[in-house]
Structure 1
Amino acid sequence: MTLINGKTKLTGIIGDPIDHTLSPVIQNAAFKDLGINWLYVPLLVKASQLEEAIAGIKALNFKGINVTMPHKETVIPYLDEVSSYASLAGAVNTINNENGKLIGYNSDGQGFLRSLEEASFSAENKKVFLFGSGGAARSLAVILALSGAASISVANRNKDKAEHLVSLLQSRFDNCTAEAIGLMEDYPSKIKESDLIINSTPVGWDTNESLLKSTDIRQGQLVADLVYVPEQTALLTEAKKAKAKILPGKQMLLYQGAASFEIWTTMHPSIKAMREALDKALTK
């Protein structure tokens, strides 16, 4: 166990809820592997306390923080600066404390692209169907559009939120068509036409719920679920029944975490050490 002392550099993650997160597992494994005196802790932060929490990060001299639901979009006004990509996506998942200056970044898109590369999938000229329109969805939609996706269909229970994300895509990307779909609408044809299906909602977290049945999915598609508990979600089970390819949520968790690690430490973490720790935690 790492000795915690007055020289320990603090990092962590804020969100609500927070008890489910496995980010501490992978980050602390990476710190241990490199033998550096850093610590990563989960911090429950209610929406009403977000401004105070961000001020506390600076006051307590945290070196860096990850941001998860529901704060990825609402945290932006409390930061000193935001990277160009995070600003475009309208969402921050990583904060770096640079000598008292809090700078917001977004590693979700980079992490998802690396997981796609590992699955031998290129977004160029592909049709994407995206469930959700929150902070993670915005990051993925933007990175996929930047990567040359031909179209992105955004489905959300609140169609107005989906339309807001679609408006962003339409205003910035001329070569990527985008449309909003309400979850109560009939969209099976759009699903079947898609090359990549992504669930960026919490549906399926530690439950047997799935947004789709195997009959909605076709062979040859790639189905990605950002939910990583359980590792084999109900959606991924349905995808396997349809003989589609699957991309578990742990892949994006791993790679976005590695990108955040690099922002904070300027060091390259061991993906192997992080993956082994994550796999061990998921089997418990």
Structure 2
Amino acid sequence: MYKNFGLIGKPISHSISPKIHNIFLYLNRLNGGYCCFEVEDSQLADIIDLFKKMHFAGFNVTLPYKEIIIDFLDDLDSDAEKIGAVNTVKIKDGKLIGYNTDIFGIRETFKFYNVGLGGKVIVVLGAGGAVRGLLYELKNHDYEKLIIVNRTVEKGFLIAEEFGIKKYTVMDIKSFDYSKKYDIIINGSSAGISGGVVLWDLKADVAFDMQYDLDKKTIFLEKVDCKKGFDGILMLVGQAYKAFCIWNDFDFAIDYNEVIKML
């Protein structure tokens, strides 16, 4: 039986999700394929209808549709409902069920790099959609203090209150103290993206850039003085793995290092 999977978003020409999922298909000896569909807002209903007609097992959702897609779904996983964003949709008996597997990718990243969050001063750069799953995870840990740094302070307070974050403060990029060394700095902002703001001279024991670069250090990690630094590639592979398992109703043993080497 041939299984179809896909990705919707805009833009998606840079996505390596097809390569990741086709590796998973190969490793599990499954006959299938994974394709990208760059769509406009007005085309969402049509592409979903196409997925149903073509008997897709499921599809991923990336920016800017992770929140909008919820209006098209029949049901939501509890994590996706609480996070308010969906990146994975399973099609079962004609029904659309939404999941958020980004949270799994975040947990796998901390586990893989042996990063404990308890008792730490954690800095999160950004207060947009990329950090929703991150804050949802962080609130379950007994950190010492959480500092949210964002261009718009009001947006930082709003997202912290939405997720019931405790022991936190919000600063704009001008008032943040760059001279201090922090336990953990996590970049969930556009810093490092072409045209984005690069924050200079940051210091931390651990630095995590939710963006990734397969060929070299991300621009953000180049600017951080840290003992341990890693980007978001493992998070990407982890969320893809969880999505693949949801679509196919089984788990399989994964070696993250081997999969990343194949990319």
Relative to the length of structure 1, the TM-score reads 0.83
Q: Are positions 1:266 and 2:259 aligned together?
A: no
Matches of 2:222 and 2:45 in 1, distance apart? 40
Per the TM alignment, residue 277 of structure 1 is displaced from its structure 2 partner at its CA by 5.0
Per the TM alignment, residue 70 of structure 1 is displaced from its structure 2 partner at its CA by 1.1
Q: Are positions 1:192 and 2:196 aligned together?
A: no
Q: Decide which of 237, 241, 251 is 2:234's aligned counterpart.
A: 251
Q: Are positions 1:95 and 2:78 aligned together?
A: no
> SS of the residue aligned with 2:68?
coil
Structure 2 counterpart of 1:13, one-letter code: L
Per the TM alignment, residue 208 of structure 1 is displaced from its structure 2 partner at its CA by 9.1
Residue 227 of structure 1: aligned partner:
211
In structure 2, the gaps of 5 or more residues are none
User: In the superposition, relative to structure 1, how do residues 142 and 47 fare at CA in structure 2: closer, same or farther (>3 Å)?
Assistant: same
Q: Is the 8 A contact 1:129 1:155 kept in 2?
A: yes
More strand by share: 2
Matches of 2:41 and 2:176 in 1, distance apart? 33
Q: Is the 8 A contact 2:146 2:169 kept in 1?
A: yes
Q: Is the 8 A contact 1:28 1:40 kept in 2?
A: yes
Q: Decide which of 36, 40, 43 is 1:46's aligned counterpart.
A: 40
Per the TM alignment, residue 97 of structure 1 is displaced from its structure 2 partner at its CA by 1.0
Structure 1 counterpart of 2:128, one-letter code: G
In structure 1, the gaps of 5 or more residues are 1-6
Q: Is the 8 A contact 1:83 1:105 kept in 2?
A: yes
Q: Is the 8 A contact 2:207 2:226 kept in 1?
A: no
Structure 1 counterpart of 2:213, one-letter code: V
Matches of 1:95 and 1:32 in 2, distance apart? 22
Relative to the length of structure 2, the TM-score reads 0.89
Per the TM alignment, residue 270 of structure 1 is displaced from its structure 2 partner at its CA by 4.9
Q: Decide which of 119, 122, 126 is 2:113's aligned counterpart.
A: 119
Q: Are positions 1:212 and 2:206 aligned together?
A: no
Structure 1 counterpart of 2:39, one-letter code: V
Q: Are positions 1:104 and 2:91 aligned together?
A: no
Residue 68 of structure 1: aligned partner:
62
Matches of 1:52 and 1:159 in 2, distance apart? 38
Residue 180 of structure 1: aligned partner:
170
Task: Say how many residue pairs are matched.
Answer: 262
Q: Are positions 1:129 and 2:123 aligned together?
A: yes
More helix by share: 1
Residue 4 of structure 1: aligned partner:
none
Matches of 1:59 and 1:238 in 2, distance apart? 48
> What RMSD in Å do the two structures reach over aligned CA positions?
2.4
Matches of 1:98 and 1:130 in 2, distance apart? 37
> SS of the residue aligned with 1:244?
strand
Per the TM alignment, residue 247 of structure 1 is displaced from its structure 2 partner at its CA by 1.6
> SS of the residue aligned with 1:14?
strand
Q: Report the identity percentage.
A: 30
Structure 1 counterpart of 2:210, one-letter code: L
User: In the superposition, relative to structure 1, how do residues 250 and 145 fare at CA in structure 2: closer, same or farther (>3 Å)?
Assistant: same
Q: Is the 8 A contact 1:26 1:275 kept in 2?
A: no
User: In the superposition, relative to structure 1, how do residues 16 and 159 fare at CA in structure 2: closer, same or farther (>3 Å)?
Assistant: farther
User: In the superposition, relative to structure 1, how do residues 270 and 46 fare at CA in structure 2: closer, same or farther (>3 Å)?
Assistant: farther
Per the TM alignment, residue 81 of structure 1 is displaced from its structure 2 partner at its CA by 0.9
Q: Are positions 1:201 and 2:189 aligned together?
A: yes
Q: Is the 8 A contact 2:88 2:100 kept in 1?
A: yes
Q: Decide which of 12, 18, 21 is 1:24's aligned counterpart.
A: 18
Q: Is the 8 A contact 2:124 2:188 kept in 1?
A: yes
Residue 221 of structure 2: aligned partner:
236
